[in-house]
Amino acid sequence: AQKVTQAQTEISVVEKEDVTLDCVYETRDTTYYLFWYKQPPSGELVFLIRRNSFDEQNEISGRYSWNFQKSTSSFNFTITASQVVDSAVYFCALTPRPNTDKLIFGTGTRLQVFP
Amino acid sequence: ETGVTQTPRHLVMGMTNKKSLKCEQHLGHNAMYWYKQSAKKPLELMFVYSLEERVENNSVPSRFSPECPNSSHLFLHLHTLQPEDSALYLCASSQDLGDRVTDTQYFGPGTRLTVL
């Protein structure tokens, strides 16, 4: 079975704090892709990152970083020095293998950053 | 306009009404999708179109009827909906489907639908 679990329903932090959003996935496929999307109050899902299962290198993009660990089936997302504009719902998603476009989403983590 | 647009952004309809949701992508993509996002549930894939052909229908009730007249436009026709159909309906597009590297899906802002 394929499944994405985001155990943190809601996280609240104060501006400038670092925050990590957890994502644990399940799949029997050896080839798969993992994604993070951000959904601000406006509603649209904003693509943040895509990672394939053969690339375990961690990635950093500005204040965002991602830690992919196949050994624990996790793909965690860290925001450094959080800002109020980071307030949104963040979704982790899985595509089990290439040539299928089924995005399996977690239930999302609502992040609130207070000034 | 850029990216994926959806109209209307908000829609309130009665159970006997007929309405349509529209999605347009300006990315030159060949695949388009409809998702339903209900409160406290994961996003649910409803339909997938590739080059105007429907390739996936995830057991969606017939009161939802998709239409893809060309690769840039996707509609979702609604009739005799139920209150439990109230949700955010999201459209997405990707470059292609098929035996290649999975393409990233880009989403529109959604239509917030309320069925009374």
Residues of B with CB under 8 A from a CB of A: 4, 9, 31, 33, 40-43, 45, 48, 56, 88, 90, 92, 94, 97-110, 112
Which pLDDT score is estimated for B101?
55
Q: Is the pLDDT score of B89 beyond 80?
A: yes
Q: If you average pLDDT over residues B26-33, what whole number do you get? A: 91
CA quadruple A61, A64, A69, A73: dihedral positive or negative? negative
Which of A29, A101, A109 to mutate to test binding with chain B, by most B CBs within 10 Å of its CB?
A101
Q: Which of A100, A103, A108 sits opposite B105 (nearest CB)?
A: A103
Q: Is the pLDDT score of B27 beyond 70?
A: yes
Cα A25 to Cα A38: distance, rounded to the nearest angstrom: 18
Partner residues linked to B20 by β-bridges: B77
Using one digit for the tens of pLDDT, what is the confidence trace for B37-82? 998 788 888 998 888 777 777 789 999 999 999 989 999 999 999 9
Distance from CA of A44 to the nearest CA of B (A): 4
Q: If you average pLDDT over residues B78-106, what whole number do you get? A: 84
Q: If you average pLDDT over residues A53-74, what whole number do you get? A: 90
Q: Which of B49, B46, B90, B41 is nearest to A9 (CA)?
A: B41
Q: Is the pLDDT score of B2 beyond 80?
A: no
What do you get for the CA distance between the two ends of chain B, in Å? 32
Question: Are A47 and B107 an interchain contact pair (Cβ–Cβ within 8 Å)?
Answer: yes
Using one digit for the tens of pLDDT, what is the confidence trace for A10-30? 999 999 999 999 999 999 888
Q: Is the pLDDT score of B102 beyond 80?
A: no
Tokens in use for A95? Answer: 């595509």
Q: Is the pLDDT score of A101 beyond 70?
A: no
Q: Which residue has the higher pLDDT, B6 or A31?
A: B6
The highest-confidence range among A11-25, A49-63, A94-108, by mean pLDDT, is A11-25
Q: Which residues from chain A sit within 8 angstroms of residue B102, using beta carbons?
A: 33, 50, 95, 98-101
